[in-house]
C-alpha cells in the first residue's frame, strides 16, 4: 500500500531543547504526524563490553557512569546484586542511608525532567525556578556523599560515609524548604492556563497501550499502572510502608504531575528514614564471591535490571544491563507521537517521557 506523506522532518541530533543527541524522524501530512521513528546510535560506548572480565572494584565505577543523572540507582542495583550473590549482610543504618541518598537522587532527576519539559513548552520562568530548587537538592547530595553527580556512595556491605547529626538537622531543614517550593511550583503548573493548553490531552498513552509497549516508571504510572513500581518489592522500602503514586490521564500533563507528586512522596520517605535511623555501624564485612543473579530496582525513569555472573575472585564474567528509557522511547514513538495533531508537540511529548539516551545506548 502506498502511503501518502507530505514531508519527512528529522529533529535532532543537536536540538535546542534536548540534553542528549537523538534523532526523531516524523512523517507528516500538513501538521498531522503520520508516524514517528527514533534513531539512536550517537552515544554507544560499549560499557558492557568494557565491564566483562574486570574486577568488581572497577565495574562499580563503570556501572555508575552508565547514566550520570541517575547514577546512585545504578550503583545501588549493581552493589545489591553483588551482595545477593555472595550473601553479604547490610547493617540497618546503611540500608536506610542508601534509601535516603537514592531518594535525593530521584528528586533531582525528576526536577531536572520537569525543568526540561517546562523549557520545551517555552515556560522558562517555571523551568528556572525548578533548577533553583534542584541546586538545593544537589547541595544535600554533596554534603552527604561528597560529590554532586557520580558519588560512588554505596559499597558492598554498607555505605561509604556516615550521616552526621548536624548534617541530619540541615537535611531536615532543607527538606522543609524544598517541599514548600516544590508544592508552590506544582500548584503553578497545575493551574497555569497556558501550560494546560500545551499539556492536557496531548501525547496520550492509554493504559492498554502502556501495557502493550511495556512502558515503565513515571510514564506508566501516569497511565494508571502503579503496580509496576519496583520499590514495592525492595525489602527496605517494604519496611518503610511505601505506596506508589499514579494518575489516570496518561497525557503530558499527567506525566509531569506524577513526577511532582513523586518528589513530594520521596521527601516523605526520606523523613521516615531519618525518623527510623538506628545507631550502629555503616559498614559490615564480606567479600564478593562467585554466582549469578538477575536483580532489578526502580530508577527515576523506571525498572532497571542487572544480570551479573561473577567468579570466586570477584571478577565480573558476564553482565547485561536493561535500562528503563528504551521501553519508554518505544512507547513514545509508537503510541504518543503517532497521530499527534501538531508537529510543535513532538519535542515536548518526547521530553515528557524523560528519555535518557546515555543509559539507553550505554
Q: Given the complex with other proteins, which of 69 and 210 has the nearer CB atom?
A: 69
Alpha-carbon gap, residue 157 to 276, rounded angstroms:
20
In the complex, which residues of this chain contact other proteins (CB under 8 A)?
A: 13-16, 19-21, 41-47, 49-50, 52, 58, 61-62, 65-69, 71, 112, 115, 128, 131-132, 134-135, 138, 148-150, 356-359
Q: Given the complex with other proteins, which of 13 and 268 has the nearer CB atom?
A: 13
Give me the count of residues in the chain: 362
Q: Yes or no: say if 289 and 86 are a contact pair by the CB < 8 Å rule.
A: yes
CB 40 to other proteins: min, Å: 9
Q: What is the DSSP letter of 216?
A: -
Alpha-carbon gap, residue 319 to 78, rounded angstroms:
10
What's the grid cell of residue 86?
Answer: 555472595
Q: How many CB atoms lie within 10 A of CB 73?
A: 25
Q: Given the complex with other proteins, which of 16 and 280 has the nearer CB atom?
A: 16
CB 358 to other proteins: min, Å: 4
Q: Given the complex with other proteins, which of 96 and 359 has the nearer CB atom?
A: 359
Contacts of 164 (CB under 8 A, 6+ apart): none
CB 13 to other proteins: min, Å: 7
Q: Given the complex with other proteins, which of 42 and 295 has the nearer CB atom?
A: 42
CB 125 to other proteins: min, Å: 11
Q: Give the DSSP H or E segment for 298.
A: strand 291-299
Q: Yes or no: say if 309 and 319 are a contact pair by the CB < 8 Å rule.
A: yes
CB 357 to other proteins: min, Å: 8
Amino acid at each position: 500500500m502506498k502511503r501518502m506523506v507530505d514531508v519527512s522532518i528529522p529533529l535532532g541530533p543537536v536540538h535546542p531543547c534536548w540534553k542528549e543527541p537523538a534523532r526523531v524522524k516524523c512523517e507528516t501530512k500538513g501538521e498531522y504526524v503520520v508516524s514517528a521513528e527514533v534513531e539512536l546510535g550517537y552515544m554507544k560506548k560499549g560499557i558492557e563490553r568494557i565491564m566483562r572480565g574486570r574486577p568488581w572494584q572497577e565495574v562499580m565505577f563503570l556501572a555508575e557512569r552508565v547514566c550520570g543523572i541517575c547514577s546512585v540507582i545504578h550503583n545501588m542495583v549493581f552493589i545489591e546484586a553483588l551482595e545477593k550473590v555472595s550473601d553479604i549482610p547490610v547493617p540497618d543504618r546503611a540500608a536506610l542511608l542508601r534509601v535516603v541518598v537514592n531518594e535525593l537522587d530521584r528528586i533531582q532527576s525528576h526536577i531536572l525532567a520537569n525543568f526540561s519539559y517546562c523549557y520545551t513548552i517555552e515556560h522558562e520562568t517555571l523551568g528556572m525556578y525548578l533548577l533553583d530548587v534542584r541546586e538545593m537538592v544537589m547541595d544535600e547530595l554533596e554534603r552527604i556523599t561528597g560529590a554532586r553527580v557520580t558519588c560512588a556512595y554505596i559499597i558492598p556491605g554498607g555505605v561509604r560515609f556516615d550521616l552526621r547529626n548536624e548534617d541530619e538537622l540541615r537535611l531536615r531543614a532543607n527538606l522543609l524548604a524544598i517541599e514548600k517550593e516544590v508544592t508552590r511550583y506544582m500548584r503553578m503548573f497545575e493551574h497555569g492556563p497556558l501550560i494546560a493548553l500545551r499539556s492536557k490531552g496531548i501525547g496520550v498513552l492509554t493504559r492498554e497501550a502502556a501495557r502493550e509497549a511495556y512502558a515503565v516508571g513515571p510514564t506508566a504510572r501516569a497511565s494508571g499502572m502503579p503496580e509496576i513500581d519496583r520499590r514495592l518489592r525492595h525489602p527496605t522500602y517494604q519496611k518503610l510502608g511505601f505506596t506508589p503514586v499514579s494518575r489516570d490521564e496518561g497525557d503530558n500533563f499527567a506525566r509531569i504531575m506524577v513526577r511532582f507528586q513523586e518528589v513530594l512522596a520521596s521527601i516523605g520517605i526520606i523523613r521516615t528514614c531519618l525518623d527510623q535511623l538506628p545507631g550502629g555501624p555503616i559498614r559490615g564485612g564480606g567479600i564478593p564471591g562467585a554466582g549469578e543473579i538477575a536483580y532489578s530496582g526502580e530508577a527515576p525513569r523506571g525498572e532497571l535490571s542487572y544480570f551479573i555472573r561473577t567468579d570466586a575472585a570477584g571478577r565480573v564474567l558476564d553482565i547485561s544491563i536493561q535500562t528503563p528509557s528504551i521501553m519508554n522511547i518505544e512507547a513514545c514513538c509508537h503510541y504518543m507521537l503517532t497521530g499527534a495533531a501538531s508537529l510543535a508537540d513532538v519535542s515536548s511529548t518526547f521530553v515528557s517521557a524523560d528519555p535518557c539516551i546515555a543509559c539507553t545506548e550505554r
